[in-house]
Amino acid sequence: MARALRRAFCAAVVLLLSVGVANAEAVRDLNARTLPGGGAVLPLELFPGNSTRLPVSAVRRQLHGHPTSSAHMRLYDDLLTNGYYTTRLWIGTPPQEFALIVDSGSTVTYVPCSTCEQCGNHQDPRFQPDASSTYQPVKCNTACTCDNDKQQCTYERQYAEMSSSSGVLGEDIVSFGDESALKPQKAVFGCENVETGDLFSQHADGIMGLGRGQLSIMDQLVEKGVISDSFSLCYGGMDIGGGAMVLGGISPPPDMVFSRSDPVRSPYYNIELKDLRVSGKSLGLNPKVFDSKHGTVLDSGTTYAYLPEEAFVALRNAITSKLHPLKQIRGPDPNYNDICFSGAGNDASQLSKHFPEVEMVFGNGQKLQLSPENYLFRHSKVHGAYCLGIFQNGKDPTTLLGGIIVRNTLVTYDRQNQKIGFWKTNCSQLWEGLKGHDAPSPAPSVSDNQTSTDGVSPAASPSALLDYTLPGQFQVGLITFDMSLNVSHLDLLPHIKELTELIGHELEVDAHQVHLMNYTSKGNSTLLKWGIFPAGPADIFSKTTALGIISRLEGRLRLPENYGSYQLVEWKVEPPLRRTWLQQHLWAVILGISVVVLLAFATLLVWYFWRHKSGGLVTYRPLGAPVPEQELQPL
């Protein structure tokens, strides 16, 4: 999806047409969602970590002490690679699985329907109402807009970047996964018949609406009394995706900071932002600059942050004034005047040595510290370079804070008490903590300025590294991984060499070690199977090298925007292939044959020149010596 579109609708208030039960809350779908502008869907469960303040076990105990059930759900994908985070939701009987974008700015949950006349190729098959024994259409009534046959309620959502979703409303059993304490519940959702724009081209199946409104999954569950009126989101850090989500209440950690969220002031999830500080120094702005129009809005479906012009200019100048040792360079996209700097190195945990800390000051005086990973994104073309992830919101005076601001921050939307809480933690490992009673403490955040010897590298993955070890006798001879690119194979094939070099660079191996083993075309997408082979004549990887490649594969593999969205499906390690005697000694055999051929050729040349030299010699005879007569031959 074009990055231009992402910025265009991130900076604008959503244009909405709500039909059906959602008439009352239509205008609440701010949903300035930022879909991936380059990159590719990576539903690898990126849940390694980089952040912390308190033990996750404390949160786990607080969760268990709550009187109502809650749904603990894993988050997938990566904010800046994919433009969004997704979770898994199962609809119907038997359950049909969907990958849905977690969006606090939307008020309706919808998935592509099997009857869809205009839907793109997404991650999972479309929902089949006829295949679910518990599906029921929401019948036409006075509270909704009906279809042409006056049989079923409909919905429609149209966004500022001119993408749209429309379809019918249905009710079915919604399941939240085996690891959730919340039992499956009946809920109303949208069954898409038409989608356009970015909604058509995105890899995720649909949207999980967490906003305020009758069709919101939150409002429906609260209305049933199965969860308390609160939910929490926790996004992974700069190099590690994934995270956790809780539908329902949790007791706040002791050092969680809060801001009031007034549902009357704005239908969106807003906070009372009064000031911004850079390296402890206030920008000196009038607090009203953050309270214009919709105020300061927190939207999980937006990637970056967007400020009114006055606030943006002041923040930009304050940050750049602290970066004298770094060199300002051009951004990755020539269509935008990104503010980027090189010379900070590739280690995200060391960014605080080069970039200043920023503080958000709320109306109650409490402050939220933003580390560099909360306002920077990596330059996609220059290693060791970073760009400012905060932009001017056009002429719109609304302050819009996207997911980049709350990376490695547990954000609790306490709707019941009209406040939003923030707690710096390790979001990628928080999910692992929520799964068990005696969860380990999360690793230090890249935003944590304190030195720690217990920290986990941002590139490490608990699933693949912390819990995955190679047996003592196991030897790795090949590492393979499948990658799905949202690009047709005809457009992709001319760039295979470039893509091979990019993958080699990202995995820190020689490009000659990276081989395209197979590819399959699926409509507008291509499934590629890659193999990473040992360097040189070696048959195997060392364990350290193999685990390093795997960690980089899961933790930081990213592609430029021109490759579209991608998904890293799976990786495997394979033992070295058993080779015959000839295969094992092939080079020696070739060398021996070459030597024999060269020796034979040299011998032939020597014999040839010797023969011609000896044949050309004439015996000397003295003058007057008798010569044998030679008989003349008749004509």
By the 10 Å C-beta count (0-12 exposed, 13-18 middle, 19+ buried), 321 is classed as exposed
**Identity at 230, one-letter amino acid code:** S
8 Å CB contact between 195 and 1? no
CA-to-CA distance for 95 and 185, rounded, in angstroms?
A: 12
pLDDT for res 628? 59
CA-to-CA distance for 57 and 253, rounded, in angstroms?
A: 11
pLDDT for res 429? 75
Computed on alpha carbons and rounded to an integer, the radius of gyration of the chain in Å comes to: 32
CA-to-CA distance for 357 and 464, rounded, in angstroms?
A: 32
Q: Which residues contact 134 (CB under 8 A, 6 or more apart)?
A: 92, 93, 172, 173, 186
Packed helices 56-64 and 427-435: angle between N→C axes, nearest 10 degrees: 50
CATH topology of domain 3-434: Cathepsin D, subunit A; domain 1 (2.40.70)
Can you say whether the dihedral through the CA atoms of 237, 338, 396, 2 is positive or negative? negative
The three-state (H, E, C) secondary structure of 222-249, written as one string: HHHCCCCCEEEEEECCCCCCCEEEEECC
103 is catalytic: yes
Tell me which residue of 403, 319, 326, 309 sits closest to 356, measured CA to CA. Answer: 319
pLDDT for res 624? 62
CA-to-CA distance for 287 and 294, rounded, in angstroms?
A: 14
pLDDT for res 581? 63
CA-to-CA distance for 376 and 396, rounded, in angstroms?
A: 22
CA-to-CA distance for 223 and 226, rounded, in angstroms?
A: 8
> Active site residue: 29, 77, 78, 103, which one?
103
CA-to-CA distance for 43 and 82, rounded, in angstroms?
A: 9
Domain spans of the chain? 3-434, 464-581
CATH architecture, domain defined by 464-581: 2-Layer Sandwich (3.30)
CB atoms within 10 A of CB 353: 12
> Active site residue: 29, 219, 299, 333, which one?
299
- Quote the DSSP letter at residue 495: G
pLDDT for res 176? 94
CB atoms within 10 A of CB 537: 6
Residues of the chain falling short of pLDDT 70:
1-68, 160-161, 431-474, 537, 554-558, 561-562, 564-565, 577-585, 614-635
* Predicted TM-score (pTM) of this structure: 0.64
pLDDT for res 27? 37
